[in-house]
Structure formats: C-alpha cells, structure tokens
Amino acid sequence: MTTSEFGRVLLSEKQIHDRVRELGKAITEDYQDDPPILVNVLKGGFVFLADLVRAINLPVEVDFMEISSYGDAMTSSGVVRILEDLSESVENRHVIIVEDIIDTGRTLSYLMENLETRHPKSIRICTLLDRRGRREVELDLDYVGFVVPDRFVVGYGLDLAQKHRNLPYIAIVEDEEVP
C-alpha cells in the first residue's frame, strides 16, 4: 500500500493548505502587539504546527508537551499524564494550544486547567479539526480549521496505529480498516 491510495479523501492537500493560511492570517492579526507562544500537543499536532507557524507573520515562539491519556486507545478518559513538559515558562505570556483534533474535549480541558496554574496572560485553542459530535466537555475553541463528521480520520499528523501521519491529506478510514 502506498500513501496515495489510502482511505477516502475528506480534506485535500489544497483545502488544508488554504485553511491553514487563513488561520495563520487570523492569528497574525490578533497578536500584533504581543506575539504568543504556540504550545503543540504531541504527537498528532506536529504537521499542523509546522505549516501554521509558516503562515503566521509574527515572531512567535514554539514549545511542546507530550501527554498520554489513561484509558483505552479509542476513547479519551481525560485523565492525562504529562510525559514531557514545556521547556519555557508561559507566565505572563499569551499561549495558543495547537491541536490536530478535538473529540471529547477532555484532554484540552485538563491541559487548560494545568496551564492556567502557570499564570499565562491568556490561553486560546487552535485546532485543525473539530469532531464536535463526540464532545463531552464544553470548550471555547478560538481557531478551528474544519468541523468533521464522527468518523475515523487519518493523515496530516493523525495516525492509524501510529502509521499514516505522513499523508499530505486527511482521509476517512472505514470501520473495518480500524484495528
């Protein structure tokens, strides 16, 4: 199997590119006076982040967190363990959390609470995909790329059993293909 024949394309490379540019422009306009730190949640968000930072015309900083969710692979419990923490302080800084996808909202809700204790100036959320049909915890999403249906999606950072993050587009994987 090559990457170019995997799944049914939901969002093409061009659609993603155009939308990421719009998000970058919006962030550029909103943070003219005080450029933010973009906090990327590994692993899924790394492809989106790489394109997003190049669409922002401001001297932003980038930092990373790796977290692991307790519970089974398909559902998020919201109880998360920080595997790798930020390397910089976010005190008195504007923070934008950059995610590939938000489902139940539990991971982000935990992360927001955790980051709030570090006294940032503000925290906003930027997610490429919002699979809001699965939401269990209300979240204010400030920048959303696309609202997607409640289907298993892969590519552009999103994995299927840790593979296919390198697809340049986002595809829907049929149920029988999900391990």
State the residues that interact with ligand PRP by CB under 6 A.
41, 43-44, 69, 76, 99-108, 159
Active site residue 72: no
Chain position whose Cβ is nearest to ligand PRP: 44
Residue number with CB closer to ligand PRP (31 or 146) = 146
Residue number with CB closer to ligand PRP (156 or 169) = 156
Residue number with CB closer to ligand PRP (64 or 103) = 103
Minimum CB separation of residue 41 from ligand PRP in Å reads 5
Query: Which candidate in 34, 63, 100, 103 is catalytic?
Result: 103
Minimum CB separation of residue 13 from ligand PRP in Å reads 20
Minimum CB separation of residue 97 from ligand PRP in Å reads 10
Can you give the three-state secondary structure of the chain, one letter per residue?
A: CCHHHCCEEEECHHHHHHHHHHHHHHHHHHCCCCCCEEEEEECCCHHHHHHHHHCCCCCCEEEEEEEEECCCCCCCCCCEEEEECCCCCCCCCEEEEEEEEECCCHHHHHHHHHHHCCCCCEEEEEEEEECHHHCCCCCCCCEEEEECCCCCEEECCECECCECCCCCCEEECCHHHCC
Residues serving a catalytic function are 103
